[in-house]
Amino acid sequence: MAGLMKTNIKSLPFLHSGKVRDIYAVGDDKMLVVQTDRLSAFDVIMEDPIPEKGRILTAMSNFWFKKFGHLMPNHMTDIDPETLVAPEERDQVRGRAIVVKKFKPLPIEAIVRGYIIGTGWKDYQKTGAVCGIKLPAGLKEAQKLPEVIFTPSTKAEIGDHDENISFERMKEIVGADTAEKVRDMAVTLYKAAAEYAASKGIIIADTKFEFGQDDDGKVYFISNGNDSEGRGYIQMSQIDISNGKKLSENENSEIISGGTDVLIRVREGKDAGIGLVSIHNLNELKGVKLDSSGNIIIGAGTSFHDITYNDIIKKYIPS
């Protein structure tokens, strides 16, 4: 099955192609946003798409927008995308597009962290802080933070990297009042999403949101970081990383057992990352198996992306 790397819709004016989304104009005040199957990692678009990824992201985004619509206004409309394009173009939007109100995006990624992981962990190891926010000494990787923290970044152009900034710098960019509204809205969304996900056996370690403004300056929630592109989903576990038993290690990866769960860490390269996987599901993972002695074997063709996407994201699409 071939993935949709790029759309080719002629019945609407093309506006912009981002890392994952293609955007078309619907009149002067709305847009058609299509989730392609492109994969963006570290702000770089990969050459090979993941078939049906865009439809999965759209289903997850729609779920979160609808579930938390009562918390704050967003850009969603009830317009069916298939009614706006030519019949031969409908397959390009079916299940992977939404029609949204057009707002001016704020040039900020609103990142919220509940666990010390990823770039936050690297920052903490070097400075004892994350984006200038001082944290207690002695935290372990993937440990829950004492309090949720808000760590904004700039929004980079394709090929460039987002830059972490302080909240004070964010105030300078968007204004103090807007910055405080965005921070409060983002933290509220994260806490609500994290609480719901926890009830389904999922930890949302961190996530990012995007916000926009109308002509009157009112702030709207316009991009949902709780889909699988913008968050750190890990399977919920009672693993105690500080006391975990190391099962195997090589120059680029290590596996630590924590009872019924396994922490898999890939240190470098395109598959760098960290994830928690239930040991009971290992036999279902591509390239991962248990041998007769109960040891975990990771095949040479297995990547961290295979593990997180197949075992966690696809199995836990909200319904």
Chain segment 233-277, per-residue pLDDT in tens: 444 433 333 333 444 444 444 444 433 444 444 444 544 444 444
Q: How many CA atoms lie within 13 A of 115 on its CB side?
A: 22
DSSP single-letter state for residue 271: T
Task: Give the model's pLDDT for residue 1.
Answer: 58
In the chain, which stretches have pLDDT less than 50?
A: 158-159, 226-268, 270-291, 293-319
Task: Give the model's pLDDT for residue 57.
Answer: 86
Residue 55, both tokens = 């439809």
pTM here is: 0.70
Chain segment 75-123, per-residue pLDDT in tens: 999 999 999 999 999 999 999 999 999 999 999 999 999 988 877 888 8
3 state DSSP class of 274: strand
Angle at 120 between CA 142 and CA 141, to 5 degrees: 25
User: Which residues have C-beta within 8 Å of that of residue 288, sequence separation ≥ 6?
Assistant: 282, 296, 297, 298, 299, 302, 307
Task: Give the model's pLDDT for residue 199.
Answer: 80
Question: By C-alpha distance, which of 212, 206, 199, 244 is closest to 105?
Answer: 212
Task: Give the model's pLDDT for residue 266.
Answer: 47
